Chains A and B, each alone.
Chain A
Amino acid sequence: SQTIHQWPATLVQPVGSPLSLECTVEGTSNPNLYWYRQAAGRGLQLLFYSVGIGQISSEVPQNLSASRPQDRQFILSSKKLLLSDSGFYLCAWSVWQSLATNEKLFFGSGTQLSVL
Chain B
Amino acid sequence: DQQVKQNSPSLSVQEGRISILNCDYTNSMFDYFLWYKKYPAEGPTFLISISSIKDKNEDGRFTVFLNKSAKHLSLHIVPSQPGDSAVYFCAASTPGGTSYGKLTFGQGTILTVHP
Interface residues of A (CB under 8 A from B): 4, 6, 9, 32, 34, 36, 38, 41-46, 49, 51, 59, 90, 92, 94, 96-98, 101-110
Q: Which of B24-47 contact A (CB under 8 A)?
A: 32, 34, 36, 41-46
Residues of B within 8 A of A9 (CB): 41
Contact A45/B105 with A102-B49, A105-B46 known, Cβ cut-off 8 Å:
yes
B8 within 8 A of A: no
Could you tell me the distance between the alpha carbons of A44 and B106 in the complex, rounded to whole angstroms? 7
Q: State whether B98 touches A102 (Cβ < 8 A).
A: yes
Contact A90/B103 with A102-B34, A102-B98 known, Cβ cut-off 8 Å:
no
Q: State whether A109 touches B101 (Cβ < 8 A).
A: no
B4 within 8 A of A: yes
Could you tell me the distance between the alpha carbons of A91 and B4 in the complex, rounded to whole angstroms? 20
Residues of A within 8 A of B44 (CB): 44, 90, 107
Could you tell me the distance between the alpha carbons of A46 and B4 in the complex, rounded to whole angstroms? 13
B81 within 8 A of A: no
Contact A103/B2 with A32-B101, A44-B89, A109-B43 known, Cβ cut-off 8 Å:
no
Could you tell me the distance between the alpha carbons of A104 and B93 in the complex, rounded to whole angstroms? 14
B69 within 8 A of A: no
Please name 18 pairs of A and B residues whose Cβ atoms are closer than 8 Å in the assembled complex, sorted by A: A9-B41, A32-B101, A34-B101, A38-B107, A38-B108, A42-B2, A43-B2, A43-B4, A44-B44, A46-B102, A46-B103, A49-B100, A94-B100, A94-B101, A101-B100, A105-B46, A107-B44, A107-B45
